[in-house]
Chains A and B, each alone.
Chain A
Amino acid sequence: MRSKTWHLIPTALLALALASGTAGATTAAEQLAALSAQAGTAGDPARGQRLFTSKHGAEWSCSSCHGALPTQAGRHASTGKPIAPLAPAFNPERFGDAAKSEKWFRRNCKDVLGRECSAGEKADVLAWLITLKP
């Protein structure tokens, strides 16, 4: 019984590390690592770009507000408000806070895909955003 309990500790620690990896101050690269670990596979930039620029049966794609290439400012599709660049190399404020990233992924995935995105899908999108360099 005791050995079984001890055996569980590394798993629990790993889960804790993963959970804390998606909260608080961080970097885009760290968030990508955490999402990839959660998904069990590395983020794929090409797949991320496809997800980002496609409509998924509804009115909007991510590009509708962020632009097809989010290295410059976009504009909100319905309100017209300018939106600062999303790619972290063009806007250091992006992906600096994992809770904030999670909130926006949740809101925007629901708008674009009609559901929340999986960890794998988020890893794909972030992997692509990180490849965008000045």
Chain B
Amino acid sequence: MMNMKSFALLLAAALLPAAAARADGERLRPATANPSYQQECGGCHLAYPPALLPAASWQRITADLGKHYGSDASLDPATTQTLTRWLLLNAGSGKRAREAPQQDRITRAAWFQRKHDELPAGVWQRPAIKSPANCAACHTGAEQGDFSEHRVRVPR
């Protein structure tokens, strides 16, 4: 017979991850969950959590890696296929799946712009940030899929 204390512990263990994952979608499945994705896509930019784009966007992006936002990101066919499957499986749902953002850019999504609309003009051009694609410049937990506002430090 399980005593109350261990039951409470079990219950907490079962509920905690779910609560963390629900917290406004801030804790996302990190790219580190897939070492191949991390290695192939994380060289030039944060290996963006797949939930940040809808499946249709990932489909278009992975279909044309040779012309990837002005850069050649081509991979061998087998790796491309494996990563595409993983990205589609973990693509965004809910508010992030409603529509594919312009040019399939995360930064053009309505939710992204709403979340960042209080930032002063010119913040993206700061030398330590350089681009809105550089999530980790401010989101210190971005590599771990943590985009919580509590962990945001905007460099001067």
Contact = CB atoms under 8 A, between A and B. Distances in A.
Interface of A: 65, 75-76, 78-81, 83, 103-104, 106-108, 110-111
B152 interface: no
Contact of B134 (A81, A104, A110): A81
B136 interface: yes
Contact of B133 (A65, A78, A104): A78
Contacts of B66: 110
A79 B134 contact: yes
A50 to B, nearest CB: 22
B129 interface: yes
B74 A106 contact: yes
A80 B130 contact: yes
B46 A81 contact: yes
B137 A111 contact: no
A77 to B, nearest CB: 9
Interface string B61-95: 00000100111111100000000000000000000
A107 B133 CA distance: 20
A79 B130 CA distance: 7
Contacts of B136: 81
A79 B72 contact: no
Q: Which of B44, B66, B129, B133 has the most CB of A within 10 A?
A: B44
A82 to B, nearest CB: 9
Nearest to B133: A79
B131 interface: yes
B131 A78 contact: yes
B153 interface: no
Nearest to A116: B72
Interface in B108-135: 129-131, 133-134
Interface in B37-64: 43-46
